[in-house]
Amino acid sequence: MNQLEQLKQYTTVVADTGDFQSIKAYAPQDATTNPSLILKAVQKPEYRPLLEKAIADAPGASTEAIVDSLLIAFGVEILKYVPGRVSTEIDAALSFDTEATVAKGRELIALYEKNGVSRERVLIKIASTWEGIRAAEILEKDGIHCNLTLLFSLCQAVACAEAGVKLISPFVGRIYDWYKKSTGTDYQGADDPGVQSVKRIYQYYRKFGYDTEVMGASFRNTSQILELAGCDLLTISPDLLQKLADSDAPVERKLVKDDSADIEKIAMDEKTFRFMLNEDAMGTEKLAEGIRAFVADSLKLKQMIEGMR
């Protein structure tokens, strides 16, 4: 078996793309999207018709409503190629507005259901701010499952688990990027700070019996992926899926529950969350940077739509 096939023995593989052909080629269980991936996809000729149809079908609708229709159109198409779930992201501009995030999550699920997709097959992606986590807690109680993204710190992971969130996406590659830039060290294998962060979260969840799924995300190389074999899920870009498929080197399970792990339970509340995140320079900077980047790409998508109307 190639490395991708071996990895699937230990971990649920998720495609991190809006490209249907890539999804079809690598046969992942789930797929994730974000504003940057959707923006990239609609600039390709083969996906342009989805954008044109979303605009044509709603001549009097707001730009925001057309964006929502486009997200759902991509999600519906993606679900034709994966047996599991698709993650659809809420506009990052709502990251600090609990009520608006809840309302948007309900709107997106209603659109999916209108298109014949059950809510069990959708994860609503929300930034892991305190406000976003509170919104996810409300949505989960409605039976709307959430994927908490832009997650860089243990305090975010703990708050998500205590809120009953279905799944979190710790960003391995972006953590690696920050530490590489900060220290000048090109971390490898188990020494990679992004890898270590996911392992710590995984062991914390296992020790204290949380059901929240851990999905490593944002990879820079296959070494990071292979070091997390055994994680609940890993969402991987098409280029790295191809590299795994091209190699037949052995893959070992690296993540297993470690009952001897020296981990203390954190009593999490809003003050503790905000202080712990503030003390983590990497987490604070990467969360803010990630929200800004997603907002910027959402704005580009809206401008593209307005230019075509």
Burial tier of 47 (Cβ tally within 10 Å: 0-12, 13-18, 19+): buried
Pairwise CA distance, residues 118 & 112, whole Å = 7
Rounded Cα distance between 15 and 95, Å, is: 24
Distance, CA of 76 to CA of 71 (rounded, Å): 9
125 is catalytic: yes
Give me the helices (H) in the chain, please.
3-7, 20-26, 35-42, 48-56, 63-78, 98-114, 130-141, 154-162, 172-183, 193-208, 222-226, 238-245, 270-279, 281-308
Torsion of CA 38, 81, 137, 154, to 10 degrees: -80
Of 156, 141, 37, the closest CA to residue 95 belongs to 156
Query: Could you tell me if 225 and 255 are in contact, meaning their C-beta atoms sit under 8 angstroms apart?
Result: no
Query: Which residue of the set 24, 44, 114, 125 is catalytic?
Result: 125
In 3D space, the residue among 135, 134, 131, 125 whose CA is nearest the CA of residue 294 turns out to be 125
Catalytic residues, by residue number, are 125
